[in-house]
Structure 1
Amino acid sequence: MSDLPKTAHKTVRLEATNHDGSFLGKTVSAAKFASGKETGFAFADVLFAIDLGDEFVLGDAYADWRGNLYDIQMVPDLSTLVEWKPGMDSVIGDYRKKDGSPVPICPRNLARAMVDRLAALGLTAKVAVEIEATLFEESVQEARARGYRDLTPLGGSAGATYHLARSKDWVDYMEAVTARLDDLGIVWEAWTDEAAAGQTELNLAPTNPIALADAWARTRQVMREVAFEQGRTVTFMAKPTAGWGQGAHLNLSLQREGVNQFFAEDGPTDLMRHAIGGLMATMAGNAAIVLPQITSYRRLEDLSGPPTTISWGVDNKTAAVRAITGHPRYSRLEYRVPGADVNPYLALAGVLAGVAAGIEREIEPPDEVTDMAWRLPEGYGVARIPDTMSKAFAALDADPILREYLGDEFVDFWVVSRRWEWMEFHTKGGDPYSPLSEWESLRYFELP
């Protein structure tokens, strides 16, 4: 971490996500930052009232927003202050009302509330993420001119996981990204190619949930900036082409006084079993949160990698939750549902809410799936993950656990925002029957 700005010429970039996961902010002078670093900086709360097409979301359910464009305060978390580049620091913050209370729909506030809920149980979460993205040879300007269609995958046209035959341009990009992450103090563990042409997976190391979400949001920004500098394009869209989709698998363990509570020699502990029970009970409702955009649901195809059923299994990568057991350090749960387009803070808030509920209520999970979890017959008794946005937001609206843990204000707000997104797609040119519509490419390719 850097010290506070030392010269009058250094600027500070204030950073936070909106609900859709876009990385927002403003750049202020050193003097301005010094004057507001304790009290915060004014942001119009309209940032929670516009969609990715910059349209006002009519019928917004957030009670404090009624079209008056009130200011909220973005209060910097000084523990996140880093030197982003020579002459500029950056800092991540939280949205607060003028009275100092947390904005209840602020993604970072929601994630922190779930961390605090686990802390009240004497538990600390450690989480890691596998970030998937797709790289293209064209510059972002050319990609825009083409409507983000018919782009050339960087590194060659072949797609094969772990393949080392990628060309030097692809390797140069990833090495530049990881060098920037090292400079910022963001700890990464591995990168590799993924299944689709031009696709990569970058793994961030386990840490506490807020630090992980901060690092995740910043990593996406780094990957964009490196692409701009090299004349390339990168996207975190859940399905940027008609081929493979891309996700963001979350790996989670719970610690008590530094000891992994998910470890047992003979399989899942009681705590892990109840955490799984909570994740299963909330998975349908959480789909609306971890699959936030229309294209997120195009990714849910049987036999293509992503989970399609509300299922869990020990070391079963076809299930929605994979339990890794039997190791004192690596025993964990892998939550495989989120798309690459998810808001990092909301993803963690929803998952931790399910985990906390399962533990507090001692929810027993359904039977483990030991077979392939794709295309299970109806008589198997395993439901499918909602495969459209409308099914998902209806499930969230009706989920009593997520309403209790995340709050009615957030759930009502999110349901309205997703209903609006569904309506925009169906009334402004989206084609539900195409592998990928032009409307989706234009709306989601660069955001979040």
Structure 2
Amino acid sequence: MTSSLAASPPALAPLIADLPPDSVIVDPDRMAGYRWDRANDPNAGMPLAVVRVTSTSDVRAVLRFASEHRIPAVPRGAGTGLSGGSSAVDGCIVVSTERMREIDVDPTTRTVRVQPGALNAEVKAAAAAHGLWYPPDPSSFEICSIGGDLATNAGGLCCVKYGVTTDYVLALTVVLADGTVVQLGGPPLKDVAGLSLTKLFVGSEGTLGIITEAVLRLIPAQRPPATVVATFGSLDHATATVLDITRRMRPSMLELMDRASINAVEDVTSMGLDREAEAMLLIQSDEPGATAAAEVAEIEALCGIADIADQRQVEIAVIAHAGDGNTHPLIITDRTDPEQTARAETAYGEVMDLAIALGGTITGEHGVGRLKKPWLPGYLGPDVLRLNQRIKDALDPLGILNPGAML
């Protein structure tokens, strides 16, 4: 049921009084859906309350209350993340931006002012109505929120040519841990006054502040792309082809699937994919003849993942944004089988270690969250990790913002 002063814990009464009606949920059954993102973190806690904010002033009220009472605050968008970045912790306030959906396109300046609860697809549609385009396109673009994209610096299929979320952020409105509201950046495409704090908050996973509005850059609508699908008898041949393509042109999409992924897709879609192929490339070009200097070196990484799968006797399906070197190894396991689950978790850690050993990163676009946090120190090193923590401590001295995520 909808919360009220009478039905809510007395400690929440001042907060409820500062917010619009029906903003606060305290019913455990209704809060259950806000505990997890799609990572299904088994350690997710039970919130004290869920607040469905509608404005910057709502978020300011929540964080002032949380800071005063030292209550953790976990921001949440659409809950489509895969790293546990929005997992609730016991006794926290989940700050849900699902009701913050305003979108305002300015075709003259080719910008869009958007609240964090708006879906990526809604922003794309609003831009398209003016002949414009917002390129970042994570695979979940139809259901993921812009706030989540900002929090994780999301990429997508076309980022090989058009870049990731941070490349389109011109300005942010951010509420800090103590409730202070700051305006960062602005509409000008060129602005070098002061430190580039917008870049600091994009990708910070809600650990430094909560983004309540963004001004994003738009570009002219994409040309209709030409598509080529190619299958290969070996991963080596497929990755060699990736290198050959990227030496000669800059495709707008260059995706790789290994045999396990091909068969998984075919099982669901029955679209006629070649089950005998060891790899498949999906290539699109929206500007035939364009050249680029980018190169991708994935052969060693892909072969290393295959070795881990063999050694641990688990199935690891690999899909990849091959054009920019971003792989998604998907470890397939039966969670009801403890022994198989243990092997899968060991393999997961070894894949993380392999990525670091090959000079890669533990996350290319989904964020660190809670699932990949154990490998962050090994990736960053002690000095850079301390620097990250010092920035976090400066902006969130009480440690109330999304505790346990990333840092």
Q: TM-score, normalised by structure 1?
A: 0.27
For the pair shown, the structure with the greater C-alpha radius of gyration is: 2
